[in-house]
Amino acid sequence: MPKTVEVPRPTPRAPSAQRVAWLLGPALVAGVAYLDPGNVASNMTAGARFGYLLVWVVVLGNVMAWLIQYLSAKLGIVTGRSLPENLGDRIRNPWARRAYWLQAELVAMATDIAEVIGGAVALQLLFGIPLLLGGLITGVVSTALLIVQSRRGARTFEFVVIGLIAVIALGFTFGVFLGPPDPAAVAGGLVPRFDGADSVLLAASILGATIMPHAIYAHSSLARDRFRPADASAPGIPIARLLRATRWDVSIAMLIAGTVNLCILLLAAANLAGVPGTDSLEGAYAALAQGIGPLVATLFAVGLLASGLASTAVGAYAGAEIMHGLLRVRVPLLARRLITLIPALVILGLGIDPTLALVLSQVVLSFGIPFALIPLVALTARRDLLGTHRNRWTTTAAGVAASVFLIALNAVLLWLVLGGG
């Protein structure tokens, strides 16, 4: 009995606070996908070309992202299996499973393209390094981050990524304080509307960059790795408590991501709208240096570099989980990293406009969203899978509404871009 009573507990509140803090982290790592170079390119281009027109898209995307990331984490926590693993168990036809894996893998590659290109552009802006060499450096550093994750565990990986998030947040928000937006114009941008096919293209790009398919796959895996039953570091924590902590985790992550993304668009809308050449990252960097000052431009480039390094590591993690869950195959880390780097390096080597490649990669991601989102909503609504933790009908309805909206936006995008308007 004495052993039961004398549990080490310095104060009644300390362990509780300590334990809650320990439960946070997976959403912050998954949330770095919402701060990748594709987000920067899409939001910067939207602000420079259309001013405050698409503020509502950033806000709406972040609200939907909160719901989606929470459902992904809940699936991993309650079932002890990631979304790809759950789908791999349920897609019986091997050809259907391979087809699903192929589209998910293409989405992961599109993610890698955005992140490696973003890191390469940042290195060129900061140090004058050629784009191709910068892409290689980004790939090598991101591989080192993955090695940290595989050898030192999820918690150490989380600390590294959270440190990079702090750099990203500083780099992309500092300029807004020196070149503040017009509050009335920001409020006007909350009214949903478009202005031609190009604005729809950018809206799809923003949503593809905000609601990232690979983040949906990755978050369920990150939550599983931290809280799976075999993990003795969290004995006896009830699932209900884990889910409550996860809601806080997701809320913090999405608040950070949403604020940074909105600041990027507002920075461009307030300071770059109508300025020639600012619809590219290089042009935006030059205009920021000339208009607000070199410090803002340098912090912007540093944020872009941290964004590319952190997000490409998370993207590669997601790609490995997709392959393992759907094909039950594990590819060596270095081999997989090399394969996913090739498309980005080819684009850089061919001299294709990096900003255009970033924006189009986000459109590809937007088309991959329904393939991740619809199964996620369906699985988390199942009593036989999640039991008492299944979705409420309102949650399922919100997930269905988000799916319908995203699919409709992509259909309109196809109609406008491919000849309908």
| pLDDT greater than 50 at residue 393 | yes
| pLDDT greater than 50 at residue 13 | no
The residue-averaged pLDDT of 84-98 equals 91
Give pLDDT, residue 67.
92
Q: Which residue has the higher pLDDT, 405 or 9?
A: 405
Residue where the block lists tokens 């590809």: 364
| Distance (Å, whole) CA 43 – CA 209 | 9
What band does 19 get if pLDDT is binned at 50, 70 and 90? low
Q: Which residue has the higher pLDDT, 255 or 235?
A: 255
Distance (Å) of CA 54 to CA 214, 358, 375? 24, 18, 28
| Distance (Å, whole) CA 40 – CA 57 | 14
What band does 225 get if pLDDT is binned at 50, 70 and 90? confident
Give pLDDT, residue 18.
47
Distance (Å) of CA 162 to CA 123, 290, 311, 340? 21, 31, 11, 24
State pLDDT tens for residues 20-44.
555 667 777 777 777 777 778 788 8
| pLDDT greater than 90 at residue 379 | yes
Helix (H/G/I), strand (E/B), else coil: 212: coil
CATH of domain 16-225+235-420: 1.20.1740.10
Give pLDDT, residue 232.
41
Its pTM stands at 0.82
| pLDDT greater than 90 at residue 194 | no
What band does 231 get if pLDDT is binned at 50, 70 and 90? very low
Going by C-alpha positions, the residue among 415, 371, 175, 377 that lies closest to residue 271 is: 175
The residue-averaged pLDDT of 343-354 equals 85
Q: Which residue has the higher pLDDT, 389 or 328?
A: 389
Give pLDDT, residue 233.
46
Helix (H/G/I), strand (E/B), else coil: 242: helix
What band does 17 get if pLDDT is binned at 50, 70 and 90? very low
Residue 365 main-chain phi, psi, to 5 deg: -60, -40
The residue-averaged pLDDT of 334-353 equals 80
Report the Cα–Cα distance between both ends of the chain, in Å, rounded. 77
Give pLDDT, residue 54.
93
Q: What percent of the chain has pLDDT over 90?
A: 19
Distance (Å) of CA 396 to CA 11, 37, 253, 369, 373? 41, 31, 22, 16, 11
| pLDDT greater than 50 at residue 179 | yes
- Averaged pLDDT of the chain: 81
Q: Which residue has the higher pLDDT, 280 or 188?
A: 188
Give pLDDT, residue 154.
64
Distance (Å) of CA 413 to CA 76, 106, 198, 205, 401? 33, 20, 9, 10, 18
| Distance (Å, whole) CA 117 – CA 134 | 8
State pLDDT tens for residues 244-295.
888 988 898 889 888 988 998 999 898 888 777 776 778 888 888 888 888 8
| Distance (Å, whole) CA 415 – CA 421 | 7
Query: Half-sphere exposure of residue 242, counting CA atoms within 13 Å on the CB side?
Result: 23
What type of residue is 128?
A: G
What band does 112 get if pLDDT is binned at 50, 70 and 90? confident
Give pLDDT, residue 416.
66
Give pLDDT, residue 166.
85
Structure tokens at 172: 């992309």
| pLDDT greater than 70 at residue 124 | yes
| Distance (Å, whole) CA 23 – CA 227 | 9
What type of residue is 286?
A: A
Residue where the block lists tokens 């909206």: 405
| pLDDT greater than 70 at residue 48 | yes
Question: Is 142 in contact with 337 (CB distance < 8 Å)?
Answer: yes
| pLDDT greater than 70 at residue 421 | no
Give pLDDT, residue 28.
77
Question: Is 38 in contact with 208 (CB distance < 8 Å)?
Answer: yes
Got the DSSP string for 291-328? HT-HHHHHHHHHHHHHHHHHHHHHHHHHHHHHHHHHH-
Give pLDDT, residue 277.
73
Structure tokens at 368: 């991959």
Give pLDDT, residue 407.
81
Give pLDDT, residue 284.
81
